């Protein structure tokens, strides 16, 4: 990164451990796009008197040549971010996904040709409340996908067995679908 990583704390006590963790995660993002100019991370606990417990919001703003990529997590929409670790995981996972998408759009070697066809699979397992699922490929492999990678309102329409087209990439824990498009059920 050309500029130092900036970390801001709002409503939460700063610590050296948190700072080191955030800096390490931010530096790992350079594996996915090596031309990051700057990174700003805001960690905030919006309300100490929230009736459902303490929620944490993590906002990551990445500056890349000609563009800013912004990831913000809203704790009101989900109870998954009641602890700092899961909030950081979610925000940096989304930042990585956005960086990979940005890199693909700007790397002429990664652009699909007119002849390339998206991979096909079926939904094997669906965890609707948690916001993720698994696809099964024709050769029997399982591929993880997140609700945010499903195009449009497709996640709401998904059922086990639904046919999909997807783009696969290697994630931190194995293969995952970066983009999923729900197809029509075969008859």
Residue 170 tokens read as 């290697």
pLDDT at residue 80 in the model: 45
Q: Phi and psi at residue 29, in whole multiples of 5°?
A: -65, -25
For residue 79, pLDDT over 50 is answered with no
More confident residue, 114 or 138: 138
**CATH number for the domain running over 6-109:** 3.30.160.100
Rounded-to-integer distance, Cα 26 and Cα 55, Å: 22
More confident residue, 17 or 101: 17
For residue 21, pLDDT over 80 is answered with yes
Task: Give domain limits for the chain.
Answer: 6-109, 119-182
Model confidence band, residue 39 (pLDDT cutoffs 50, 70, 90): very high
CB atoms within 10 A of CB 118: 14
Rounded-to-integer distance, Cα 133 and Cα 131, Å: 7
Q: Do domains 6-109 and 119-182 have the same CATH topology?
A: no
What are the angstrom distances between the C-alpha of 109 and each of 32, 106, 141, 168? 15, 9, 27, 16
Region 86-111 average pLDDT? 80
| Ranges of H-type helices in 60-135 | 84-106
| Ranges of H-type helices in 9-83 | 16-28
Poorest-confidence range of 21-25, 109-113, 125-129, 179-183? 109-113
**CATH number for the domain running over 119-182:** 2.40.50.140
Model confidence band, residue 113 (pLDDT cutoffs 50, 70, 90): very low
């Amino acid at each position: 990164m050309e500029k130092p990583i900036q970390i801001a704390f709002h409503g939460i006590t700063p610590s050296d451990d948190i700072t080191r963790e955030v800096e390490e995660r931010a530096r790992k993002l350079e594996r996915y796009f090596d031309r990051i100019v700057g990174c700003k991370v805001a960690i905030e606990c919006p309300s100490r008197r929230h009736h459902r417990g303490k929620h944490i919001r993590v906002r990551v703003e990445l500056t890349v040549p000609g563009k800013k990529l912004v990831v913000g997590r809203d704790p009101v929409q989900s109870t998954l971010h009641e602890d700092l670790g899961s909030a950081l995981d979610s925000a940096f996972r989304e930042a990585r996904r956005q960086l990979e998408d940005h890199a693909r759009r700007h790397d002429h070697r990664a652009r699909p040709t007119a002849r390339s066809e998206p991979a096909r699979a079926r939904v094997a397992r669906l965890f609707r409340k948690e916001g993720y699922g698994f696809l099964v490929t024709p050769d029997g492999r399982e591929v993880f996908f997140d609700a945010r990678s499903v195009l449009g309102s497709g996640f709401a329409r998904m059922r086990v067995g639904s046919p999909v087209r997807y783009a696969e990439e290697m994630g931190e824990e194995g293969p995952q679908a970066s983009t999923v498009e729900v197809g029509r059920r075969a008859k």
